[in-house]
Amino acid sequence: MATSQTVVLDNGGSTIKAGIVRTDLGDDDEIRLVPNAVVRSKGDKATFVGHEIGRCKDYSALHYRLPFEKGYLVDWDAQKAIWDGLFSSEVLSVNAPESSLLITEPYFNLPNIQEIYDQFVFEEYEFHSYHRCTPAAMIPYGQLFAVEGLQNPECSLIVDSGFSFTHVIPIINHQIQWHAVKRLDVGGKLLTNQLKEVISYRQWNMMDETYIVNHVKESCCYVSTNFFADLETCRLKPKKSKIALEYILPNYVINTGGAVREPGYALAPTDQVLVMENERFTIPELLFRPDDIGLEQSGLPNTIAASISLLSEDLQGMFWANIGLIGGNTKLPGFYERLMSELRSLAPVECDVQIYRAKDAITEAYRSSLEFVRSADFATHLVTRAEYLESGSHAIRRKFGHWQSGDSGKSGDRVMTSSSSTGGVPQLSKKPSRSKIRTTASTSSRRR
């Protein structure tokens, strides 16, 4: 029995991007962005679950309960509460037994966690059918690499810098090359926590103000294209340089939301001001220099180069020419320019370096998932509830494959990897020698 609608759930560690693709009547639902958290507000003296967080009036000293810990879904009670609200008539109004589900999972997701995904989908919610994949596996179906008159490239490299980690994922013909996937242990959560510590040490104690500091990060921070020059500018004119910004902190009585102070704005006697100076660029710098806080890993440019060096030399030129950015951290001002500058110095001279940016890096995986659901291939990737009840998670592993087994299965998310010393184990981004990352490529053609 074909379903009349498909629920698309890009289940991120910070935000869930959700919507419905309808196959019968009417337009598809608009995307819903729902915080993937349960929070307790001291000011409101209430608990808000997922989509209810927007009703909170006092965001000071929020206590967060996150389903994801270190990139993996571990608190299933919290996740179920958030999904229950999302599937309710108040938000998506999902009739699970008559719907298919596409849900994203973390890279290198553990087998026992994958089985719990399967149990929740088919036993708890009783969806008719579903497909589980990583966000990067959906990108080749979308418009990130769209160029008028050309098809999407067969070889692409996705940089997914999200809440918990930053991953570099090479893809050939919709198949992830797991042996070359690299992980950098820097994500949006680490940047926010680092900013909290710096602000609390230098100015105001904001260790309990995760929500506010995250907004400060998104409003004020940028990636410097000339780090030491900006650092010197801040040193010469403390708090008066062109880099310095004043952020007016909310008091949740008169001022209910923090904001950057505009030129000429007169401060009220009760306003509390946070001065953002070199913090604006030293925090995002951790994506490029994680060793600044003692992480023994390469920065993002070297991580990309190391990933490409593990691929066939005949194809490396195509990966250099088709780098796509997704994830909230890639939206930081200056991120694209800095990454392009450093990659050009690492790439072989005969290779063209091209980086593609999404219109909205946060929702790109979701929008690519919509294209996949609308494609003729989608039905062949689904596992039905009847198949699950007959064979359990074995039926799903046979169809989806698994990154550990190297089994390509029938999903565009799996591939038979070449033998390597890692044996499919997740690779952290180590510091490779320069000779290894400057591997030459025999072609620099952009598309094939």
5-135+363-400 is a CATH 3.30.420.40 domain: yes
Please state, in angstroms and rounded to a whole number, the distance separating the CA atoms of residues 368 and 142.
Answer: 4
Contacts of 63 (CB under 8 A, 6+ apart): 39, 40, 42
The domains spanning 5-135+363-400 and 139-186+294-360+417-437 adopt the same CATH topology: yes
* Buried residues in 29-51 as b, exposed as e (16+ CB within 10 A): bebbbbbbbbbebeebeeebbbb
Tally of residues, the chain: 448
Retrieve residue 204's tokens: 């105001």
Per-residue pLDDT in tens (0 to 9) along the chain, 448 residues: 567 799 999 999 999 999 999 875 555 678 999 999 999 988 778 999 999 998 988 888 899 999 999 999 999 999 999 999 999 999 999 999 999 999 999 999 999 999 999 999 999 999 999 999 999 999 999 999 988 778 889 999 999 999 999 999 999 999 999 999 999 999 999 999 999 999 999 998 999 999 999 999 999 999 999 999 999 999 998 888 899 999 999 887 777 788 999 888 888 888 899 999 999 999 999 999 999 999 999 999 999 999 999 999 999 999 999 999 999 999 999 999 999 999 999 999 999 999 999 999 999 999 999 999 999 889 999 999 999 998 887 778 777 766 665 544 334 443 333 333 344 555 666 654 433 443 333 334 455 5
CA 1, chain centre distance (Å): 34
**Sheet containing 46-49: which strands, arranged edge to edge?**
46-49, 38-41, 63-65
Domain ranges of the chain: 5-135+363-400, 139-186+294-360+417-437, 188-285
Q: Give the C-alpha distances (Å, rounded to integers) separating 360 from 65, 326, 327, 330, 370.
A: 27, 8, 9, 10, 15
Q: Is there a contact between 170 and 181 (Cβ–Cβ < 8 Å)?
A: yes
Specify the CATH class of 188-285 in words. Answer: alpha beta
Element holding 276 (H helix, E strand): strand 272-276
Q: Is there a contact between 439 and 316 (Cβ–Cβ < 8 Å)?
A: yes
The CATH fold assigned to 139-186+294-360+417-437 is Nucleotidyltransferase; domain 5 (3.30.420)
